[in-house]
Amino acid sequence: MTLDYDLTSIQEARDLVRKAKEAQQTLAGFSAEDIDKVLVSIVNAVEENAEALARLAVEETRYGIVEHKITKNLFASREVYAAIKDIKTVGIISEDPELKVIKAAVPVGVIVGITPTTNPTSTVIHNAICAIKGGNSIVFSPHPSAGKCSFAAAQVVNDAAVKAGAPDGIVGCISKSSMKATEELMHNNDVSVIIATGGSAMVKAAYSAGKPAFGVGPGNVPVFIERSADIKQAVCDIITSKSFDNGMICASEQAIIADMPVKDQIIAELKNQGAYFLSQEEVKKVSSVVINPKGGMVPALVGQTPQTIALKAGFSVPADIKVLIAPLDGYGPSYPLSYEKLTTVLGFYTVSDWHDACLLSIELLKLGGIGHSFSIHCQDDQIIREFLKKPVNRILVNTPSALGGIGSTTGLLPSLTLGCGTWGGSSISENLGPHHLINVKSLAYGTKKVTLDTKATSSLTPSLDTNNTSSCELKSDDIADVVKQVLKQLQLC
């Protein structure tokens, strides 16, 4: 009997979770040192396979740049491990002798990771390392367009973990991608947590699965170049960021907001460093091929070069052009390029001062980036701090936004899963790390004794006396009634 594709994918999902649960129960008994050995083995294996995985990702998805995907794979392993290796996630993680509270970490269990086409191997590597660091297992559901490379990345990680003594199945991945299989994973009773890195619809589905979830939202990141900025460096940072892997990191800049007094300098420097300014006619052409009528990216042009996008739009640009710049007078449906563009296209606006930059950036964020990130190039710290009031959780200062947002060029936790907080519909507002993937138990000793003021039985009032260690004495014939009143006042009944 031949089963249809959906049925076999559902069965595969169930089998992977069953195996992951058994593996996790074994891993839960590992010491912090044992887990560290597993992580070191994973990092070494990723370093050996970083290029092969990067090439497989580009070949399968047709997105991005091999060399940059190699960098992302190494970042997701080497840099992430270096940042999290000293975080306590196993056993007793803190003791407070004064408050007499001991905190202990325990794993959350089996995690499901839903991964995107934009970072199909690096996201698997990052999320697997964070999961294992907390003593968990993880099963991935990759995007169908990146199923082979994501599966290969998961296999590299699992094999390396097993080589270091971890149980087989600690990292699994669906080989038969389907919506039915993803739904099975998200709703499986043995799954404890979901990490959803992908489109808004998938993230919403993860949050509605009835269990804890970590999702990320779009990042329509504005970048403001204020008049005090180092213009040359600012432009270098922006082009470096936007051209990195052809603009597919969600923290990459989406629209330049130029301060009027330095507008001409910014334009000249952009052209000097490899930006091509589109004519109004070319803006219309690019808009029609890059953005669909609903304001979303056309999948075929995600992570593409400026030359590919221009050719698709019916014109050509020189081979040395790194990004396309679209001058815009407004935002919203009439200005398609004001939306998020995970490719090598940037909007361009001019404002009179930083106040107007604030207002415009909020409007752009409302189009699909609320809660994610904002970038600013400025030397005036007072102005920079004004942007702390804006509805984003990452204000990235004088750095390439894509690399700063993931923690590569800033002090943020290195991560490829960036929370957007409640503004963006996310359960976390920071970069996801292993500390989000553990439960923390608290063992708390009593430090205060309850004594009773029984002088007036009509208004029996409990008080806390840290000096009186004797037991409470009730001077009432009706002890049961007194106890009931005390418990009520203590809000224990």
Whole-number Å distance between alpha carbons of 374 and 383 = 14
**For tokens 């392993």, what's the residue?**
77
Q: Please check whether residue 319 is in contact with residue 307, taking contact to mean a CB–CB distance below 8 angstroms.
A: yes
What spatial distance separates the first Cα and last Cα of the chain, rounded to whole Å?
Answer: 60
Q: Reduced to 3 DSSP states, what percent helix, strand and coil does the chain have, rounded to the nearest 5?
A: 45, 20, 35
358 is a catalytic site residue = no
Q: Are 38 and 161 in contact (CB under 8 A)?
A: yes
- Classify burial at 399, counting beta carbons within 10 Å of its beta carbon; exposed 0-12, middle 13-18, buried 19 or more: buried
Active-site annotation holder among 250, 358, 378, 420? 250
Q: Which residue has the tokens 């060399």?
A: 67
The sign of the torsion formed by the CA atoms of 230, 231, 232, 235 equals: positive
- Torsion, CA 73, CA 45, CA 169, CA 137, rounded to 10: -50
Cα 457 to Cα 89: distance, rounded to the nearest angstrom: 50
Q: Which of 142, 1, 156, 165 is nearest to 61 (CA)?
A: 142
Could you please report the per-residue DSSP string of 333-399?
Answer: TTBGGGS--SSSEEEEEEESSHHHHHHHHHHHHHTTTTEEEEEEE-S-HHHHHHGGGSSEEEEEESS
**Assigned token pair, 410:** 């800033």
Confirm if 154 and 128 have CB atoms less than 8 A apart.
Answer: yes
Task: Estimate the crossing angle of helix 32-61 against helix 66-74, to 10 degrees.
Answer: 170
What token pair was written down for 363? 């409007």
Beta bridge partners of 102: 95, 443
DSSP string over 50-72: HHHHHHHHHHHH--S-HHHHHHH
Looking at the annotation, which residues are catalytic? 250
